[in-house]
Structure 1
């Protein structure tokens, strides 16, 4: 039996999830150049079952699309499917619908999101 090095701590589930979500973040919120109106069909690697096409002009569907992309999308998906203006407008409610790990990673990286939530 070998002793664990004190400098190496076991990974926690929270740490693994935060790292996973942080690696997907855009460099800037300006990189989120997705559509504002119309229908969007998510790629299979983002939505592999259930609803895949969302109408951005319907608020509930738009919120559902953003929730799915934040949870399952890769960096390129975030940039092409999400729009900065829509994310900002929806964030006060959207932040309550995503996991705590997603919320913390996004708000820690982009303090504007935390500020808009506090003002709402």
Structure 2
């Protein structure tokens, strides 16, 4: 599900980015181990491979996919519910993106406080 609304006076570019939030965390059935290579539409950096055995690389992958996904399919292919819940407190997402996910999934916000 995309976050779409019409531009209003005073809106900033950051407030208009159409972040995608899944309908349910249970849809996130992506990998939990191994090396994941992201397509250019999600990661245009020179190294778009992430080893999920590395905490730092897993965090990088989740930050990138959540902030750059343009479809729910991007999220379901690369993210895993259990990994997301475990990593959520460590992710550094754009403020509005994190707010949209926290609004849809209060259990993520609760995990950050806990």
TM-score category (smaller protein): 0.7 to 0.9
2:17 is equivalent to residue 25 of structure 1: no
Q: 1:40 to 1:9 in 2, by over 3 A?
A: closer
Q: Which runs of 5+ in 2 are unaligned?
A: 1-6
Please report how far the alpha carbon of residue 10 of structure 1 lies from its aligned counterpart in structure 2 after TM superposition. 2.3
Greater CA drift, 42-51 or 54-63: 42-51
Q: Equivalent residue for 2:4?
A: none
| Distance in structure 1 (CA, Å) of the matches to 2:60 and 2:34 | 15
2:9 is equivalent to residue 10 of structure 1: yes
SS of the residue aligned with 1:66? helix
Q: Equivalent residue for 2:112?
A: 117
2:74 is equivalent to residue 77 of structure 1: yes
| Distance in structure 1 (CA, Å) of the matches to 2:30 and 2:78 | 4
TM-score by length of 1: 0.82
Greater CA drift, 69-78 or 59-68: 69-78
Partner residue of 2:103 out of 105, 108, 111 = 108
SS of the residue aligned with 1:54? strand
| Distance in structure 1 (CA, Å) of the matches to 2:47 and 2:27 | 26
RMSD of aligned alpha carbons? 1.5
The structure number with the bigger radius of gyration is: 1
